A and B are shown apart, each in its own frame.
Chain A
Amino acid sequence: MTVALEPIIGRYTSFDIEGKRCRVYFEEAGSGIALVCLHTAGADNRQYQHLMNDPEITSRFRVIAFDMPWHGKSYPPAGFQDTEYRLSTALYVETIMSFCRALELERPVVMGCSIGGRITLQLAHLHSDKFRALIGIEAADHQEPWYDTSWLHRGDVHGGEVCAALVSGLVAPQSPEVHRHETLWQYMQGGPGIFKGDLYFYRVDSDLRGKLTGIRTDLCPLYLLTGEYDFSCTPEDTIRTAESIPGAKVTVMKECGHFPMSENPERFREYLLPVLKEIAG
């Protein structure tokens, strides 16, 4: 009998983030250029499992996706019960840099979606010498809020249900049902207040308009890919952002929403493969 195992391997590693010990879960597959993947707000690394099961990608890239502390299988740091989770720009940058140091990754590619896309812009601004390339999915320097985040964490509304129902409209109608509902399930399983805490970064602490000067895309290429059905980070938001960054390359992805790697992996890879080919040289 042959056991049909996927190539994805999951492990834990522990390191300090802003002075707090964090035990972080990550999954990886493949070998070659390190490609660190950042999940969306309130979700976890399952969003990248399709990439990790794609031999055309893993033959050239070591795809690594970690659960941020407080997300997925990464516990919050000790003492969390007496605090309110709030992701800041500084904490987010430090989390990514600490993870890359912990795994001794040398000039990895970082790809992130939504909040993960926004932070790639900040990484390009602050640390472009540390990365081989950056890929922002559903990324912009700013976007207009479309709901009050206090709905995400209150006693009379189920947090998981409302998070999933809110973002359900960000999934493109063409996305396969199975992947649509897997994506929404990730949101249903988030910890209480975590989506809201991530959105503190998105809504309050990371308006990057006018702050993205000096990005050297000649040293660290920057690719921005946004789904046409994303009405949260719209294609117009991404295009406006790219216009302020010389050399940034924008692709608008047809029939994709806010979670392309998770909601429609087949369609997403059509847009991602040329980018990865260019990065791999």
Chain B
Amino acid sequence: MTGSQTAAGAQLLQRFRARAVSFSKPRLFSADILLQFAEVPAIVRVRQGSVTEIIDHRVPLQSSDFSIKGTAQGWTKFWQAMPEAGWHDIFALNKRKEFVIEGNLQPLMAHLQYVKDLLACAREESA
């Protein structure tokens, strides 16, 4: 693990946490989602459509339903107020190998727009 990647990941997680901690939509969706920002992982706990907890300390053998891991560049460009073409959607990022989406994808696909909106909540405000 490199120091610069860890620092960048920690900053990205902090930015995500600030917005995601109050994320809520009326949807019957519960899952533990593993997100990774550069080299920094976190579990986002969703219960009944609300983010209830973001666990960023490392716990051995921690389980999750699915994971979305992205490079620092991927998250940073994804969160631009007006992202560039090819950096604007999680599947575009997956296609260009900046994001890796893994695990049991059924809960992701069953609640895909919710998850997309959750991940985009840290996007910069438009001017």
Contact = CB atoms under 8 A, between A and B. Distances in A.
Interface of A: 144, 146-147, 151, 156-158, 161-162, 164-166, 168-170, 172-174, 228-229, 231
Given A157-B106, A231-B85, A146 B112 contact: no
28 contacts: A146-B94, A156-B106, A156-B110, A157-B109, A161-B110, A161-B113, A162-B109, A162-B112, A165-B112, A165-B116, A166-B112, A168-B89, A168-B113, A169-B88, A169-B89, A169-B90, A169-B92, A170-B89, A172-B85, A172-B88, A173-B82, A173-B83, A173-B88, A174-B82, A229-B86, A231-B85, A231-B89, A231-B95
Contacts of A162: 109-110, 112
B91 A166 contact: yes
Contacts of B91: 146-147, 166, 169, 231
A147 B91 CA distance: 8
Which 6 residue pairs are nearest across A and B when measured between Cβ atoms? A169-B89, A165-B112, A165-B113, A231-B92, A229-B85, A228-B85
What is the size category of the interface that chain B forms with chain A?
10 to 19
Q: Is the interface of A mostly helix, strand, loop or mixed?
A: loop
A163 to B, nearest CB: 10
A165 B83 CA distance: 18
A173 B82 CA distance: 7
B116 A168 contact: yes
Given A168-B116, A231-B85, 4 more contacts: A157-B110, A169-B91, A169-B92, A231-B91
B113 A164 contact: yes
A17 to B, nearest CB: 33
Contacts of B109: 151, 157, 162
A166 B82 CA distance: 19
B106 to A, nearest CB: 6
Nearest to A158: B110
Interface string B61-94: 0000000000000000000001101101111101
Contact of A146 (B88, B95, B113): B95
